[in-house]
């Protein structure tokens, strides 16, 4: 989940400052998956755009918060980043703590506007099948309840107990089990077919980045990978998510958007794990700790719509340099 590429340019689209294209780069083949976005790297786009001079200086305050309007080209959606500024430069240090990130940093608030898919589908776009819960027939597992949602990133949610898990698992419990990894990939492939993302399960190998698979459970006490105790009273539910054939060490940003969106819609597995009540925000437990995410949902003409999802991340420059690419391998239009 760390071999990623972000391509940013000044935007010619009305109401936007920059265009952002994300690529998930395969580490074992010459392949880049362009099928989805990365929520964590979405937080880096605004700071990068400001520091690179892609934003009109008149729109960037010397101190305070700069608003960067981002067109996410992979999924055709708008993200609004609120970037802290100090003395005319992007502020990177601060007191914002994000479980799974080693250092304190400045908080970058993100708004994912209208995060559900706009494509026409059977019964609606946010839920590709038109249902908040579907039954999936999975070889080796039988029939599983699943919430199939396309918000933030296409995601397949299942109950932890149906997989033999508690929802408190850390990485080694899954990543050290080859049979579990095979099971999750089988589940992902069949869910992708049901969501209409691929035609058959064999095509899943060419779409590694999406959909994601996550399993949920009601709140429970556990110890995070950092050694920090997480108490059931502090969270609304437990979520563990798979990314690129591994259990993620914390939570992908786009999956957090899917979690917040699904939690806001009554009757989804995420909503039920969180107690089933109507809610505009949830705090969930993940392997590294906890994360809060919000979403605004409403029922319009019998279809659920989410106007925005909200979360905070951090970003800082790690290194700068040049990548030298031979002209013979570059396609010029």
Active site residues: 38, 252
Phi, psi of 174, deg, nearest 5: -110, -50
Cα Rg for the chain, rounded, in angstroms?
Answer: 20
Handedness of CA 259, 214, 80, 120 (dihedral sign): negative
Q: Residue holding tokens 């798979």?
A: 242
User: What ranges make up the beta strands (E) of 261-302?
Assistant: 281-286, 289-300
Residue with tokens 């396609």: 331
The Cα–Cα gap between 224 and 152 comes to: 25
Neighbour count for residue 239 (Cβ, 10 Å): 30
Strand-pairing partners, residue 300, are 303
| Residue 71: alpha-carbon gap to chain centroid | 16
314: tokens are 């951090």
Question: What's the CA gap between 151 and 260, in Å, rounded?
Answer: 9
What count of Cα atoms within 13 Å lies in the side-chain half-sphere of residue 196? 15
CA–CA separation, 49 vs 4, rounded Å? 18
Pick from 207, 230, 232: which is nearest to 218 by CA?
A: 232
Is residue 228 helix, strand or coil? coil
Q: Which residues contact 333 (CB under 8 A, 6 or more apart)?
A: none
Q: Which of 230, 228, 243, 209 is nearest to 167 (CA)?
A: 230
């Amino acid at each position: 989940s760390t071999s990623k590429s972000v391509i940013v340019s000044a935007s010619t689209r009305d109401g936007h400052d920059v265009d952002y294209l994300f690529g998930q780069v395969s580490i074992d083949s010459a392949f880049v998956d362009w099928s989805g976005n990365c929520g964590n790297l979405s937080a880096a786009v605004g700071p990068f755009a400001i520091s690179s001079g892609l934003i009109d200086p008149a729109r960037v305050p010397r101190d305070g918060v700069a608003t960067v309007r981002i067109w996410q080209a992979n999924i055709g959606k708008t993200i609004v980043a609120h970037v802290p500024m100090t003395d005319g430069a992007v502020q990177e240090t601060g007191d914002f703590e994000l479980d799974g990130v080693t250092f304190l940093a400045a908080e970058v608030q993100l708004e994912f506007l209208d995060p559900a898919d706009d494509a026409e589908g059977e019964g609606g776009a946010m839920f590709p099948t038109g249902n908040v819960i579907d039954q999936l027939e999975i070889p080796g597992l039988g029939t599983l309840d699943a919430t199939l949602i396309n918000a933030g990133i296409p995601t397949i949610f299942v109950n932890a107990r149906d997989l033999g898990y508690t929802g408190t698992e850390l990485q080694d419990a899954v990543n050290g089990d080859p049979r579990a990894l095979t099971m999750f990939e089988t589940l992902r492939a069949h869910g992708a077919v049901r969501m209409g993302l691929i035609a058959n399960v064999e095509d899943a190998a060419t779409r590694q980045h999406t959909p994601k698979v996550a399993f949920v459970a009601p709140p429970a006490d556990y110890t995070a990978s950092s050694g920090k105790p997480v108490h059931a009273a502090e969270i609304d539910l437990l979520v563990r998510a798979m990314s690129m054939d591994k259990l993620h060490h914390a939570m992908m940003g786009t999956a957090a958007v899917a979690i917040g969106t699904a939690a806001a819609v009554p009757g989804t597995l995420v909503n039920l794990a969180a107690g089933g009540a109507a809610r505009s925000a949830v705090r969930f437990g993940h392997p590294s700790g906890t994360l809060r995410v919000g979403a605004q949902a409403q029922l319009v003409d019998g279809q659920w719509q989410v106007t925005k999802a909200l979360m905070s991340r951090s970003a800082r420059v790690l290194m700068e340099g040049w990548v030298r690419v031979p002209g013979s391998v570059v396609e010029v239009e």
